[in-house]
Chains A and B, each alone.
Chain A
Amino acid sequence: AQRVTQPEKLLSVFKGAPVELKCNYSYSGSPELFWYVQYSRQRLQLLLRHISRESIKGFTADLNKGETSFHLKKPFAQEEDSAMYYCALRTGRRALTFGSGTRLQVQP
């Protein structure tokens, strides 16, 4: 069965510090990996996906199949990055499977 693990419930950093939100997955095939973000009082929205290999709002994530990881990184955190971040996995035509989420708190 597929599984997504986010080991940190809360990550607190100061503005300008680097950020890395960890995500590991277990799946024997070739999954699609995503990061979703939920800002306060807003709906869940896609941040980025591994197949597009893009940078959104300064965030990047690289799929490491050897380590089965898809960590989310940003070199300089901003206060507006404070939100709940979910790593998610999709296989075939199934719905997304989510990790437990990490709350990022960027302090001034």
Chain B
Amino acid sequence: SAVISQKPSRDICQRGTSLTIQCQVDSQVTMMFWYRQQPGQSLTLIATANQGSEATYESGFVIDKFPISRPNLTFSTLTVSNLSPEDSSIYLCSVFADTQYFGPGTRLTVL
């Protein structure tokens, strides 16, 4: 199994600024994912971040807007840049161990 923590749990940011979300896992995992859950919507995969390689972004998501770091097998960050109100969402970190586990999410509100 894997236990995932995320920081911050929530934040309110001004338009044009950036927010970096941290994801910490209690065990070493190769495959780590970042999802977005917009209000009333399902989870949409942003990118896959495997340690030792560049993140792979899904259609509609670009590195300039969502840069990701994956310095080791237990940690990753997702930055949401140049924030606009449309970025208001819950951002979830997820890892694949024996199955896919999810963090508690970071609720971002952009004013």
**Nearest CB of chain B from residue A79's CB, rounded to whole Å:** 24
**Nearest CB of chain B from residue A3's CB, rounded to whole Å:** 12
Please count how many residues in chain A sit with their CB below 8 Å of the partner chain's CB atoms. 17
Q: Mark B32-73, 1 if CB is under 8 A from A, else 0.
A: 010100000111110010000000000000000000000000
- Whether the Cβ atoms of B42 and A101 lie closer than 8 Å is yes
Question: A49 — nearest CB in chain B belongs to which residue?
Answer: B99
Known contacts A44-B92, A95-B33; is A100 also within 8 Å of B100 by CB? no
Main secondary structure on B side of the interface with A: strand
* A-B CB pair tally, cutoff 8 Å: 40
- Whether the Cβ atoms of B99 and A95 lie closer than 8 Å is no
Please count how many residues in chain B sit with their CB below 8 Å of the partner chain's CB atoms. 19
Question: Using Cβ atoms and an 8 Å threshold, which residues of chain A touch B44?
Answer: 98
**Nearest CB of chain A from residue B8's CB, rounded to whole Å:** 15
Residue B77 is within 8 A (CB to CB) of chain A in the complex: no
Question: Using Cβ atoms and an 8 Å threshold, which residues of chain B touch A101?
Answer: 42
For window 79-108 of A, CB contacts with B under 8 Å fall at 86, 90, 93-101
Contact partner, A46, options B35, B48, B100, B104, Cβ 8 Å: B100
**Nearest CB of chain A from residue B96's CB, rounded to whole Å:** 8
Known contacts A93-B31, A95-B94; is A43 also within 8 Å of B45 by CB? no
- Whether the Cβ atoms of B48 and A95 lie closer than 8 Å is yes
Compute how far the CA of A45 lies from the CA of B103 in the bound complex, rounded to whole angstroms. Answer: 10
Known contacts A93-B31, A95-B33, A95-B94; is A45 also within 8 Å of B42 by CB? no
- Whether the Cβ atoms of A43 and B43 lie closer than 8 Å is no
Question: B30 — nearest CB in chain A belongs to which residue?
Answer: A93
- Whether the Cβ atoms of A43 and B103 lie closer than 8 Å is yes
Chain B residues at the A interface, C-beta cutoff of 8 Å: 31, 33, 35, 41-45, 48, 92, 94, 96, 99-105
